Amino acid sequence: MAREVVNQDEPVVLGEEIQNVRLITLNRPRQLNVISSPVVSLLAKYLEKWEEDDNAKLILIKGAGRAFSAGGDLKMFYDGRTSKDSCLEVVYRMYWLCHHIHSYKKTQVSLVHGISMGGGASLMIPMKFSVVTEKTVFSTPEASIGFHTDCGFSFIHSRLPGRLGEFLALTGARLNGKELVAAGLATHFVPSEKMAELEKRLISLNTGDENVVKSAIEEFSEEVQLDEGSVLNKKLVIDECFSKDSVSEIIKSFEAQAGKEGNGWISPVLKGLKRSSPTGLTITLRSVREGRKQTLAECLKKEFRLTINILRTTISGDVYEGIRALTIDKDNAPKWDPPTLDQVDNGKVDLVFLPFEEDLELQIPDKDELRWNGKYENSVYASFDVADEVK
């Protein structure tokens, strides 16, 4: 089957036109396919072009190598720290891209093999079909480095059953492929050895008919059975602890649960939570909770403000300290400012949530016509008996 490579000059993203199918490959395997400015530009270019192309029926996206995408390029942000608005354009384009993916008019399938974190996962979850394997690893760890749950995840996490969203956003806990399907964050689980064959099958369909595409994926997919130790089996504890009003109260409740029989899983999660940026945790909890009453557009506009204000160090420079400790010096010993939760000034936190002047706001449509419309509603996790409806 002949393939037309749309752009061979930009290897960070490959776009291929195969009859009525369009294939995007994130092509920075040595960098775990992190999302940089050129990656955002090319993704936007291909998706905009193909949405208007009557011959494009089905969009596939995958990552080269052992990762789908490890998220945003942290070094890019760190290098731009002395010029606080140096990343403004790429941030704006990324948020616009997130909205476009959520509301895309054509059938999209993400083939997610390996790491899918933070902003990288925003290229997976909103798709009509998101296929994962036993090697898929998902997390949203941004709060731990002084950032916040971004790229639409205050919308997504806030719509998960119970308090799973708060748990994932604050702890950065990892979910595997089976857990993603059980939680409703992915649609199908396919063993990794079958992914290449599935890709070929989808391309051979040469159609974007959702029923046909779904049937083809189901030929390769398996029903998921959660491992006994899965964090998704801890829903009662998660809902109890992560429903508290503040991060401090959440930690106290989590500590109380850690001493009970069968709760040995809590200690390492709690340790990571206590190492995280107090400011990042506070902002993230508020953002996810606000998200429950916001549309996708409102969440993205809010997250855009948070991102810009955090990068401008409006109330704290924790994000740059977190990146330094994690990826630059790699000493894993960040010095947070302020260093403890009780020193975080809620009045100052209010500042990063304030609307910008209208011409500086993220300009996206307010009407939400979404692909991702709460896959979790029919998920295994949502049906657990211990679930309580979130008011």
Q: Give the domain ranges of the chain.
A: 4-383
Judge: domain 4-383, CATH 3.40.50.300: no
The residue annotated as part of the active site, out of 63, 71, 119, 184, is: 119
142 is catalytic: yes
DSSP 8-state symbol, 322: H
Rounded Cα distance between 282 and 305, Å, is 16
Q: One of 15, 63, 72, 280 is an active-site residue; which one?
A: 72
Q: Which of 142, 303, 318, 321 is catalytic?
A: 142
Known catalytic residue: 318?
A: no
Q: From start to end of the chain, where are the E strands?
A: 4-5, 13-18, 21-26, 58-63, 67-69, 107-112, 115-117, 129-132, 137-139, 175-176, 188-189
Question: 119 catalytic, yes or no?
Answer: yes
- Among 73, 150, 179, 318, the one annotated catalytic: 150
The reply to whether 72 belongs to the active site is: yes
Q: Are 248 and 342 in contact (CB under 8 A)?
A: yes
pLDDT of the chain, 391 residues: tens digit per residue? 334 344 445 579 999 999 999 999 999 999 999 999 999 999 999 999 999 999 999 999 999 998 999 999 999 999 988 876 778 889 999 999 999 999 999 999 999 999 999 999 999 999 999 999 999 999 999 999 999 999 999 999 999 999 999 999 999 999 999 999 999 999 999 999 999 999 999 999 999 999 999 999 999 999 999 999 999 999 999 999 999 999 999 999 999 999 899 999 999 999 999 999 999 999 999 999 999 999 999 999 999 999 999 999 999 999 999 999 999 999 999 999 999 999 999 999 999 999 999 999 999 987 665 555 555 555 566 555 433 333 3
